[in-house]
Structure 1
Amino acid sequence: MSKLSEKLYERAVPLWNEEAENEFVAAMADGTLDKQKYRAYMLQDYCYLTDYIGILKWMYENTDDEKVAEFLKSAADSTRNEKDSVHVPNMQKLGITDEEINNVKKAPDSEEYLNYMMDKAREGIIYGITALLQCSWSYAYIASIVTDRYKDKLESSPYAEWFHAYTSEEYIGANCLWIDILDHAAKNITPDEEEKLCVIFEKCANYEKRFWNIFIRQVPNPL
């Protein structure tokens, strides 16, 4: 019998492949992305990570499964460390000020996505784990595909570090732990619940596509 994670993967791969073709992602890889668009992405991603950590923390505080709780605390701590030690310094390198960081507002598509994930977490911890995993897993998948596709141009791209971060052994290992914890939490679910989780995962993949498209359109005002 297939694991839940295998079924989620099958449902999401077509959407992830579309994301790997996204104009914004391709421009990052070949180095042609406008710096202002990247700044806008980094600010929105900062907002996203802040709320993402909040959802992890909420799930940690509301689960009765010790193994799941241990994982969620670790995931929240590692994501917070990434935000503070990697994301913020990279924003500072781009000239993004503390004032911009403190006053940035979430783009509507991003806010809708984050609200959906929080709503799913409130419905059930396993729903929240599924929703949040999609983001983490999709970044690893997309970064790997695009790195292979643009390997000659990527090394000279000013955005190469983004791809290195999401193809690193540490990041891939963290994703494997996440996948394992989801399969652990889903071991006794019904076929109907399994289908619901597949729908959640697929919907989050569609939200992810919308997130990338924010930056192809007009660069949002960060303040």
Structure 2
Amino acid sequence: MTFCDELRKETDIYWEGSFQHPFVKGIADGTLSIDKFKYYMIQDAFYLKHYAKVLAFAAAKCETPEEFAYYTDMAKFITEAELELHHSVFLELNVTPEEIEQSEPAPGAINYINHMYSAVHNGDVAEAFAAMMPCPWLYLEIGLYYKDAKPGVKLYEDWIAMYSNEDFQATIQTQISMMNAYAAAASPEKLAILKSHFKNSCYYELQFWEMAWTKENWVPETVR
């Protein structure tokens, strides 16, 4: 069993929770309200902006030119391709730049981003990678899990197709190989840290769906 096999097995409760979360299932069967999807996309754009910055910080800690190039290329890809996709979706959803600018980041998004910043600032590149990896890997698995779904909503069909295509599968296989290589060079103490960062991010991924499903804000339930 590889290190990534161990990670996947030990965090399966979070993955299954994501597959079965009503937000994700709502995308797959077309019942998710567009309003909730719009909320999710705005929060995700905020998340991706900081994800790209975490990649850049990780690049600064790389020890080889090849590794540095990978992280900087990924940061550029996230900034240009992923965020451009969001912009095209925002046009379909009639979301204005002013609405995005005025939207407040939700607690779930802030917590997840702070976790990744903590990993990259307080650890090495392997620790940063362990905190960042669950996001794309989980999205691939969701895409493959629901690749035959017929939601009947173009935005949702495009979302599923994007995260199940062959290019994305190849990207994740590269990342799995990278994570296994980091683990092979790590001490038992470092392996425990890598697992902790990875597990925490899996938890935050599940919470991200819940955040979008409830349209989470900063008003406590007790005073609503």
TM-score by length of 2: 0.90
Cα shift readout 1:98-120 (whole Å, capped 9, x = no counterpart): 11122322101110110011101
- Tell me which residue corresponds to 2:136: 136
Q: State the Cα distance separating 1:219 from its structure 2 match.
A: 6.1
Aligned length: 216
Q: Structure 1 counterpart of 2:165, which letter?
A: S
Structure 2 residue matching 1:195: 3-state secondary structure: helix
Q: State the Cα distance separating 1:53 from its structure 2 match.
A: 0.4
1:168 corresponds to 2:149: no
- Tell me which residue corresponds to 2:19: 20
How has the CA–CA distance of structure 1 residues 4 and 67 changed in structure 2, closer, same or farther, with 3 Å as cutoff? Answer: farther
- Tell me which residue corresponds to 1:39: 38
1:57 corresponds to 2:53: no
- Tell me which residue corresponds to 1:187: 184
- Tell me which residue corresponds to 2:207: 210
- Tell me which residue corresponds to 2:82: 83
1:30 corresponds to 2:29: yes
Is the 8 Å Cα contact of residues 120 and 131 (structure 1) preserved in structure 2?
Answer: yes
Cα shift readout 1:152-198 (whole Å, capped 9, x = no counterpart): x33x2331111100001111111111222222233211122212211
How has the CA–CA distance of structure 1 residues 84 and 208 changed in structure 2, closer, same or farther, with 3 Å as cutoff? Answer: closer
Q: Structure 1 counterpart of 2:81, which letter?
A: E
Q: State the Cα distance separating 1:6 from its structure 2 match.
A: 1.9
Q: Structure 2 counterpart of 1:30, which letter?
A: D
C-alpha separation between the residues in 2 aligned to 1:219 and 1:94? Answer: 20
**4+ residue runs over 3 A deviation:** 218-221
Structure 2 residue matching 1:214: 3-state secondary structure: helix
C-alpha separation between the residues in 1 aligned to 2:102 and 2:177? Answer: 37
How has the CA–CA distance of structure 1 residues 182 and 65 changed in structure 2, closer, same or farther, with 3 Å as cutoff? Answer: farther
C-alpha separation between the residues in 2 aligned to 1:16 and 1:67? Answer: 31
Is the 8 Å Cα contact of residues 107 and 216 (structure 2) preserved in structure 1?
Answer: no
Is the 8 Å Cα contact of residues 7 and 198 (structure 1) preserved in structure 2?
Answer: no
Unaligned runs of 5+ in 2: 219-224
Cα shift readout 1:27-62 (whole Å, capped 9, x = no counterpart): 111111111111101100000000000100111123
Q: State the Cα distance separating 1:220 from its structure 2 match.
A: 5.1
Unaligned runs of 5+ in 1: none
Larger CA deviation: 109-118 vs 70-79: 70-79
| Larger relative contact order (Cα-Cα within 8 Å, sequence gap ≥ 6) | 1
CA RMSD of superposed structures (Å): 1.7
TM-score by length of 1: 0.90
C-alpha separation between the residues in 1 aligned to 2:217 and 2:39? Answer: 7
